[in-house]
Structure 1
Amino acid sequence: MMRKIFIALGLLLSIISAKAADGLLIKGRITTVNPVVISLNTLSGKLVFKTTIDKDHPDFSMGPVQVVPDLYVLTMGATKQEVFLSNAEVTINGYFDDKDSNSSSLEFSGLEEHLEMANFAPKQSYDLNLDTAAFKALKPSQLTALAYLFKAGKYDFYQRFLVNIPLNERISESAKWLVKRTDSLKNYIVGIKAPEFQLPDQKGKLLSLKDFKGKIVVLDFWASWCVPCRREMEHLKTFYKDFEKDVQFISISLDEDPLKYKKALEEMQIPWLTIWDKKGFNNSSLGKAYGFTSIPFCMIIDANGTVLQRDINNGEVLKAALKSITK
């Protein structure tokens, strides 16, 4: 009967039908030792309503107020939780420990729509495993809220959501965010011209992407501190010679510390071209230019400078792609 969904809060939610209301109404009875502020804000931070409870005043009621069905941020004390809400009645009853939320015992009702969406939510940070059944199971407003919960950096991923949201349904904050997010990723798709760069090789000679026009290029972004990067580089060593005739391999270090960069080069003995962006991973413009937020990250560029494949972080995937491209 009970179901844990608010992992951060350690709260309990009961499956009880939401009551119709003139708007969103959140009420209940929460016992607490110290005074606790309960508030609800939009994703952009606009306050919807707020109240305070204490040991002498455990009963509370906020609303009703008309809202656009969407994700909202429910705050209790120092604890925040994103929750999908619409114009219905939600009740919260139980005990809240403002010092240790995991010791709280709260029971929610009226959050069926949130539960429906949460069934498809990412299980962990940067999880991109989306069950496509969501597109049939959820309402457009729930879909835009779901898209917001995914930390994706891929145009195709968000475009799949957007094509399922009618224009007249793109009114919520999460929907507007989805439109902007999708549009911002258009520069990171297959088929566009790869951005230029000018960086020094090990001898200090400045090299640009245009220097390799006429040859297929593999750009591999890495850093000495990135263990998966170094592991995939060792994998690359086992097959790069099979493609060396047709492909120029270039590893771009995102190390800030020149000593660590040089030490890694000595340790790894990388047999293909290496260049260095001394600005480092956090300050380099390459992440924004090429559209990556984590490494290892590889992309394949054709002889005319067009992106053929991107978002590669696995040696076997790279090998298969090169086999297909070079035939």
Structure 2
Amino acid sequence: MARYLITGGCGFIGGHLAHALVREGHRVTVLDDLSSGQEDNLPPGADLERGCVTDGARLSVIARQCDGLVHLAAIASVEAAAANPDRAEAVNLGGTRNAVAAARTHGIPLVYASSAAVYGDAGSDPVAETAKCAPLSAYGEHKLKSESAVLTLGPRATIIRPFNVYGPRQHPASPYSGVIARFVSACLAGETITINGEGHQSRDFIYVGDIVRLFLAAMSRDPEAALTVNGCTGQAISILELTRAIAAACGAGLRLRHGPARPGDILHSRGDPQHALDTLGFQAEVRLGDGLTETVAWLRGEDQ
């Protein structure tokens, strides 16, 4: 049995990861300031330390007792980052540097949650980890700079670039929530779904249970060299097609309207999953239709 520290562990992915680790018999400590996460995302038995990753000294003290560190804490909302850019940089970049320092000081491995945002608009073909990174947002730039800091740990560093993660416990009202949670919530309420632009933009959606399996594989790997992998399915669906799939999963009619396209919106985002398969034996297993069914059930209160 090991003890793991998860920063941002009260968030969507972090909460699912904490549950998975506890089920495997591990001990979990979470550092979270609850600015966007929720304490009820944690499993019984997990220890919550309320605080922010900008406090490097405290992060290091907590990490001293742990066998590994998973760094998920971030300000991922583009709007929140734009409203307070200094704070976003302090959390996203400064917080990562603190996590790296803690991992180095205590000689423990670090798994870092980066983002597909580092690629920018890479086109409709699957993008591999070796592709040129050209982020279009401050958030993507923070993640790319943070990757450089993480890689200074050498073999103990693992970087995961999740694409669009969805599933139960992703709250639609949160500014950090993905498009699936918001669209499902609107569909269940009989509201009109608003698509920015014509809806031809496409995304690679990965179920949260799959992304957790990828993190677990990264945490248990033999650290022979630093590793960067995509967290993706390799499949993409247009936003317009997604709305139809959501309506089918909800068993409801589709009420749709088109709003103006968002300036700078990425047209296509699709990952190449091969490197994760080759290095970690990971492959996404949950089909979009099945994942939507689970998401709808949770939002209906059928699976709390």
* Range class of TM-score, shorter chain: under 0.3
Structure with greater Cα Rg: 1
Q: Quick one: higher RCO (CA 8 Å, sep 6+), 1 or 2?
A: 2
Which has more strand, going by share of residues?
Answer: 1
After TM superposition, the score normalised by the length of structure 1 is 0.24
After TM superposition, the score normalised by the length of structure 2 is 0.26
